[in-house]
Structure formats: C-alpha cells, structure tokens
Amino acid sequence: MQTGNGKYTVLESGSANVVSTKPAYLVPAVDRAFRILELLKVERREMTLMEIAKATGWHKSSVHKLLVTMNHHGILERDPLTKRYYIGITLAEYGRIALNNLDIRVTAKPFLKELVDYSNETAVLAILKGTKMIMIDKREPFLNIRVSPFIGMRFPATASSNGKALLAWLPEEMVQYILKIEGLPKSTKKSIADIEAYNADLEETCRRGYAVDREEFYEGVSAVAAPVFTPGGKAIATLSIVGPEFRMTDEKIRDFGNKCVELAAKLSDRLR
C-alpha cells in the first residue's frame, strides 16, 4: 500500500503566503509555456485545451498555439481519444541528463549507501535552488515499511530537516529573504509556524550540527539532516536520513544526526 501527499510516499506491506518575484525581462511565449507546465505539474492530471485556457485566463487560440508547439517538441503529449494534454517523456529525459551532470550527485552516492547501511532507513541528497530545496538523489533500505521521497521534488527551504539544515548556516540576509518568499508552511499540526520558535530551532540546529524534523513536514515521517559545504564554506546541499516516526526514537535521532554530520563533512571534503 502507498500513502502520500506529494511530499513523501510511505511504502507499507500487508500554509504560507508566497511572495512571487519576476525578472524584468521575460519572453512572454516561453514564460507562458513554462506556466502551463507548472499548471500540469500542480494538477497532476491530464487537461483539455479549454481547461488550461480557463485555469490560466488566456485566450483559447493563444493556448492552442502553445500546446501544439509543446506537443511538437515532445514537452507535452496529447491523448488522441480524450484530447487531453499531459507532460511528455522528453522532460524526463532532460531531467535525467541534468541530474547526471550534477557532480555532487555522483560524488554523494557512496555516502548515501553508507547512511542506508548504517541506519536501515532512507537516505536523501537535496540541494538548494533559489528559495527551494530539491531532492536530487536517494537510496532506500530493503524494508517493507519505508519512506520513499520523490526525486526531483521541490519544497520551500523553510520546510523539513533539509531546509533547516541549510538555513542554519546561510547568511542572515539570505535567511530573511527566503523567509519572506516562502514563509513558514503549516504542513502538519507539528510544523513550526512561529518565527521566534523557528529562529530558535535554527540556532539549536547550528549548535548540534544537524537539523531535526519530527513530523513537521509530513505526518508520520521524521528526519535528520546535515549540511554539505563548498570549498569556500557555503552551505549548498544536505545529507539526510528519513524514516517512519514510530522507528525514529530520540536515541536514533541523535545517532543518525551525528552520522549525517560525519558523512556530510566527508562529502564536503570530496568536493574540494
């Protein structure tokens, strides 16, 4: 059985205000094409021309031209029977190439394996992109009940152990900017929504060396994460251990957190 909400999938056997920023120079047609992709990604379903036009508020003829062009290049596919559009396999191919080109992803693979071998839980590599965290790789244990994040998943840098592990070491002005853009998402009843409590959590994260998430990002899931640094000392990525809350005892949280710190430091050294 699988349960999930777009953040994690827990495999078993038997809200924040967002302030958008827009560059001064955009090519309208390209911008609209990417907004259609974003719409389909959020909706997670096939959509007709009329549905897309209604959702975007754009004229039907303009949307039709965009859809035909995107379909021609394989960015979108069109079901000939239902006439509905969906994200095409070409994007998956682009994504696979982009991930393979990330040096940190290749370098981190043995460390992900070591984390899984040590903890018998899922290990994740995530990077900071703008104000978002992106999960770019993972390794899972051979267990019937485990947490299975989606590679490529994006989420606010203010959320989860991954985000907190980076924010704790970012310059104050960068932290404030990310908070302004992303806010403090109330993902679960245990999410930290108070700014003073959140700042105190970042200070504690910095003190012990790793961030802790006890069902703050997704109910039933807990995690620890430690930052990975560039040769210049900039926090750019995280190594984390993610598991079902019922297995993540206080003792394991401390133990796994320290292991993440140890291997994140070794990964940082490898990037030098």
145 phi and psi angles, rounded to 5 deg: -115, 115
Q: What is the pLDDT of residues 57-85, one digit of tens each?
A: 999 999 999 999 999 998 999 988 899 99
Same domain, 59 and 167: no
The Cα–Cα gap between 206 and 168 comes to 6
- Among 44, 63, 95, which residue terminates a domain? 95
In a domain, 60, yes or no: yes
In a domain, 119, yes or no: yes
Same domain, 59 and 114: no
The per-residue pLDDT for 263 is 98
Q: Shortest CA distance to 113 belongs to which of 101, 104, 103, 125?
A: 125
Same domain, 68 and 52: yes
- Among 40, 75, 95, which residue terminates a domain? 95
The per-residue pLDDT for 24 is 59
The per-residue pLDDT for 11 is 54
Same domain, 77 and 116: no
Q: Residues in the chain with pLDDT < 50?
A: 1-5, 13-21
The domain spanning residue 203 has which CATH number? Answer: 3.30.450.40
Same domain, 241 and 131: yes
The per-residue pLDDT for 92 is 78
pTM: 0.69
The domain spanning residue 73 has which CATH number? Answer: 1.10.10.10
- Among 77, 95, 113, which residue terminates a domain? 95
Amino acid 83 reads: K
Same domain, 42 and 138: no
Same domain, 177 and 59: no
Q: Shortest CA distance to 259 belongs to which of 235, 244, 239?
A: 239
Containing structural domain, residue 45 = 28-95
Which residue stretches of 73-210 are H helix? 89-100, 103-119, 160-167, 172-182, 195-208
Q: What is the pLDDT of residues 183-215, one digit of tens each?
A: 999 999 999 999 999 999 999 999 999 999 999
Q: Shortest CA distance to 76 belongs to which of 35, 111, 116, 107?
A: 35
Same domain, 86 and 107: no
Same domain, 64 and 141: no
The per-residue pLDDT for 102 is 63
